[in-house]
Amino acid sequence: MKRGPFVLAVVVVFVIVGVMSVPAAVRLAADWYWFSSLGYQSVFLTTLWTKVLLGVGAALFAFAFFYVNLRFAQRGVVPDPVVVNINAKTPKVDITRLLRLLALPVSAFLALLVGVSASSAWLVLQQFLKRTPFGEIDPAFGRDIGYYFFELPAYTVAIALILSLTVLTLFMVAPLYLVRGDVVLRGRSMTIEPSAERHIGVLVAVLFLATALNLVMVRMPSLLFSSAGAVHGASYTDLTARLPVLWASVVVAVVGAVLVLWGMRAHRLPRFLMIAVALYLVVGVIGGVYPAAIQKFVVGPNELARESKFIQRHIDATRAAWGIDDVEIRVLTGEAELTLDDIRANSGTVRNIRLWDRALLLQTFGQLQEIRTYYDFVSVDDDRYIINGELRQVLLSPRELNSAALPTRNFINEYLTYTHGMGLTMSPVNQVTPEGLPVLFIQDLPPVSSASIAVTRPEIYYGELSNSYVFVNTEQAEFDYPLGDSIATTVYDGTGGVYVNSFLRKVLFSVRFGQSKIFLSQDINNDSRVLYHRNIRERASKALPFLMWDDDPYMVVTKDGRLKWILDAYTRGTKYPYSQPRSGGINYFRNSIKAVIDAYDGSIEAYIADPDDPVIQTYAKIFPDLFHPLDEMGDDLLAHIRYPDDLFRAQTELYATYHMKEPATFYPREDQWQIPVVARGEGIRDPYLRHMVMKLPGELQEEFIIMTPFTPQGKDNLAAWMVVRNDGEHYGQLIVYRFPRQSLVFGPTQIVNRINQDTEVSRQITLWDQAGSEVIRGNLLVIPIEEALLFVQALYLRAEGGRIPELKRVIVAFENQVVMEETLERSLSRLFGGTIEGGTLPALAIESPVAGEAPAAGVAATNPAIAGLIRQAQDHYQRALDAQRIGDWATYGDEIEQVGALLRRLRELAGRR
């Protein structure tokens, strides 16, 4: 057989591979420029050289393993070669010779696949080399927890590689020997040529020994992640039955290797191989039957007693792995009363009650402040600012550019002219205009502020919606913001992006983005920059690909007026012994990194938020100088960091079960809690998980916290509520406020039912429905004040065919009382029998009579009963006017009658004085 066609085929294959690798090379070059622009070359280079070394090393080892075995199997002359004659006009083909020629390309191809696969384990290798001990020992085998995080994955990959290469080689070598006639099958007998027998015997022995190694190094440690027992982790059955069976399997695997080698030496390989395989299968069958019998007849009848020790390990490990082992518990009396004095004493809490639901506020912002169709508000975030010397909770939303909504979409508009969003809208959480719309602290274009917050750099080049590349500093004027009938333009003055200052770079980015106009454009000059990977989640994930990122980045206005994004990142693991896994098998979770991305220049700064986390310590060793201590973030940004929702959500869901620390209580779930659910709006996620500014019971001042309530499993009354603190030295502190189990404290579902049954609320909603308006109920807010709970729900009204929800009523409930008024102040006044002045509860003080005021006013100010009657009369009169406007004369008559009755009662009270 001539080698010419074969060599030509090999050359063609390599040319095709080379052509196919061009896009990868282009992406690699573009990535290098991108990482360099961020100053993250260490991430790019460390990742690249580790992948190359690991991939090349594995590929060379695999190539040597495959090629040596294939060549060894094809040594010598074949006395009776297999010849194929396709037809009479073509020469005969010697199959054995063809297979010999294929040994090199087949080995190279398979080695390439192995190398590519192995390169993906680059982080496993780096973590193994730079591993950090946890300083905690697993209770079963006495190893440091770090072994399971950093060493076990490396051993798993290495042993899997050996097993795969050996099995694949056997599958190639055995047919070769059959084709060559070195292995002959005659009925039930098998004849093997001595050298072939030795070759196959060695490979099978290696397979047995690798299996034994896998059992010891991988399978046994993995018992600590078993889910076969009462809880996750190694159970009584695992350690008393499965572990001995695994050791027996190890012994049998080693014996099997010895039997195979002995059979090879005695030229009786088939018989000894069958004995070895049979022994291993017998142990395998025992390994299935024996643990099942132990579980059924020993553990099952007395599971709690047998598993108690292992349940305790599971509880302790889960609490430690998920960071709920140091939750502070504060017990409440469950009998607290709430008075107007308490409201005054907690004025900061009441002043920051969030009346605006984020989803509804997002709709309102969209209608009032998008200003142009190509602007979008993507999300609304909670934060707190010192405004005019006072801690205020606000809701804010960046105004981002949506290039898909441009009136004219072409290359110049999408990539050169319309390049960025502009500013943000900020609103206090509970202030409302007379029309029922939110008060705006920051609004319009360019941003105008009515509070002590100024935005000096409002351009948003990097955001949640930015999903394409753009060019700045081109010959085209760059749009900044609309200015009446014209537009304002700008010149980019940041350091973000990559210069397109050469012919080669133009070619590179034309290929990278699949856009020939980049190369042909005369508008892109040597001063131009290309900004890409502008979506902040994608940007952060690409810069730090070994971290898991939170779903909810949020924007901060710095003291110097710049806009910056804060993103939370997590280190996680799936190998924490005995810990309960959640989605994706994750059973260890830490918010170890807080990243800051500048919305103007795209710079990324990563700060270590949990320096005690061994995983982030390992990453810091792998990438020196990449991370900064949190205190280097600066007070400006530190004042706005918040505990991530995803972590708090996971911790509260787990704590509902794992607050039970004793196996005797945990096993029957005797004190199981749950997070309350809502009957309406099944799509609402965590309706009671809230950010709020409040003064915690026993504390001296208001602070920013996240809170969620708990109810007993299957019941509606409250069992406890949990908060995580966000400010200063208390950041990350978890506190649970528990009610006594014998007390009855109304939960959210019970309060919702009371609101639904309230005749005044029902009448008003019916009235609005009859007028054709859409009534929208806000989420019920659970507001802790001192040791009591206040419930607040806003009612919004959207006119028929309208798009803007307006806040019209505020419902406040406490214990058995439910009131509804136009404002929170009025609802509180009515509920607690006093007068609270001011549209935003600035002082929460009852105004005292002053000289010269009318006697009636003085009486009202000093007599809460009279003040309450006056307020009720005003409310009924207002409802009468509302009914009159829509022609509802029946309701109008009822309300006027109520006004008359209240006036008569006022006359009686005034006569008594």
* pLDDT tens-place string over residues 367-389: 999 889 899 999 999 999 999 88
Per-residue pLDDT band for 470 (boundaries 50, 70, 90) equals very high
Q: Which of 650, 657, 612, 603 is nearest to 630 (CA)?
A: 612
Kindly report which listed range (11-15, 316-320, 528-532) carries the lowest average pLDDT score: 11-15
Q: Which residues of 503-528 are buried (b: 16+ CB within 10 A; e: fewer)?
A: eebbebbbbbbeeeebeebeebeeeb
Residue 219 has pLDDT above 90, yes or no: yes
- Cβ distance 417 to 480 under 8 Å? no
pLDDT at 485: 81
pLDDT at 137: 96
Residue 847 has pLDDT above 60, yes or no: no
pTM, two decimals, is: 0.85
Tell me whether residue 384 is exposed, middle or buried, using C-beta atoms within 10 angstroms of its C-beta: 0 to 12, 13 to 18, 19 or more: buried
- Cβ distance 226 to 233 under 8 Å? yes
Per-residue pLDDT band for 43 (boundaries 50, 70, 90) equals very high
Residue 213 has pLDDT above 80, yes or no: yes
Residue 754 has pLDDT above 80, yes or no: yes
pLDDT at 439: 93
Across residues 56-69, what is the average pLDDT? 95
pLDDT, one tens digit per residue, over 769-814 is: 877 788 999 889 999 988 888 999 999 998 877 788 999 999 999 9
Higher-confidence residue: 186 or 758?
758
pLDDT at 412: 94
pLDDT at 687: 74
User: In this structure, is the dihedral angle defined by the CA atoms of residues 359, 361, 364 and 369, taken in order, positive or negative?
Assistant: negative
Per-residue pLDDT band for 231 (boundaries 50, 70, 90) equals very high
pLDDT, one tens digit per residue, over 145-198 is: 999 999 999 999 999 999 999 999 999 998 888 877 777 777 676 777 888 888
Contacts of 839 (CB under 8 A, 6+ apart): 431, 823, 825
Number of H-type helices and E-type strands within the chain: 29, 34
Q: Which of 793, 797, 802 is nearest to 774 (CA)?
A: 797
Across residues 227-247, what is the average pLDDT? 94
Give the whole-number percent of the chain exceeding pLDDT 70: 89
pLDDT at 856: 41
- Cβ distance 771 to 886 under 8 Å? yes
Per-residue pLDDT band for 845 (boundaries 50, 70, 90) equals very low
Per-residue pLDDT band for 559 (boundaries 50, 70, 90) equals very high
Residue 851 has pLDDT above 90, yes or no: no
Residue 843 has pLDDT above 50, yes or no: no
Per-residue pLDDT band for 506 (boundaries 50, 70, 90) equals very high
Across residues 844-870, what is the average pLDDT? 46
Per-residue pLDDT band for 860 (boundaries 50, 70, 90) equals very low
The two tokens of residue 254 are 């080693």
- Cβ distance 618 to 290 under 8 Å? no
Across residues 91-110, what is the average pLDDT? 78
- Cβ distance 808 to 795 under 8 Å? yes
Per-residue pLDDT band for 345 (boundaries 50, 70, 90) equals confident
The two tokens of residue 323 are 């960071």
Across residues 206-218, what is the average pLDDT? 96
Across residues 29-36, what is the average pLDDT? 95
Residue 93 has pLDDT above 70, yes or no: no
Kindly report which listed range (578-582, 651-655, 843-847) carries the lowest average pLDDT score: 843-847
pLDDT, one tens digit per residue, over 274-325 is: 999 999 999 999 988 999 999 999 999 999 999 999 999 999 999 999 999 9
How many of the other CB atoms lie within 10 Å of CB of 618? 24
> In 3-state terms, what secondary structure has residue 14?
helix
pLDDT at 415: 95
pLDDT, one tens digit per residue, over 432-450 is: 988 889 999 999 999 999 8
The two tokens of residue 828 are 């509180």
pLDDT at 884: 57
Q: Which of 316, 897, 329 is nearest to 580 (CA)?
A: 316
Residue 545 has pLDDT above 50, yes or no: yes
Give the whole-number percent of the chain exceeding pLDDT 90: 63
Residue 100 has pLDDT above 90, yes or no: no
**At which residue do the structure tokens 């004793």 appear?**
662
Q: What is the 3-state secondary structure (H, E, C) of 545-607?
A: CCCEECCCCEEEECCCCEEEEEEEEEEEECCCCCCCCCHHHCCEEEEEEEEEEECCCCCEEEE
Per-residue pLDDT band for 900 (boundaries 50, 70, 90) equals confident
Residue 842 has pLDDT above 50, yes or no: no
Q: How far apart are CA 670 and CA 484, in angstroms?
A: 66
Quote the mean pLDDT of the chain: 87
> In 3-state terms, what secondary structure has residue 831?
helix
Kindly report which listed range (81-85, 376-380, 471-475, 500-504) carries the lowest average pLDDT score: 81-85
Note the Cα 552 to chain centre separation in Å.
8
Across residues 737-745, what is the average pLDDT? 86
pLDDT at 254: 95
Across residues 42-54, what is the average pLDDT? 96
Across residues 551-570, what is the average pLDDT? 95
For the ranges 717-731, 821-835, 899-913, the one whose mean pLDDT is highest: 717-731
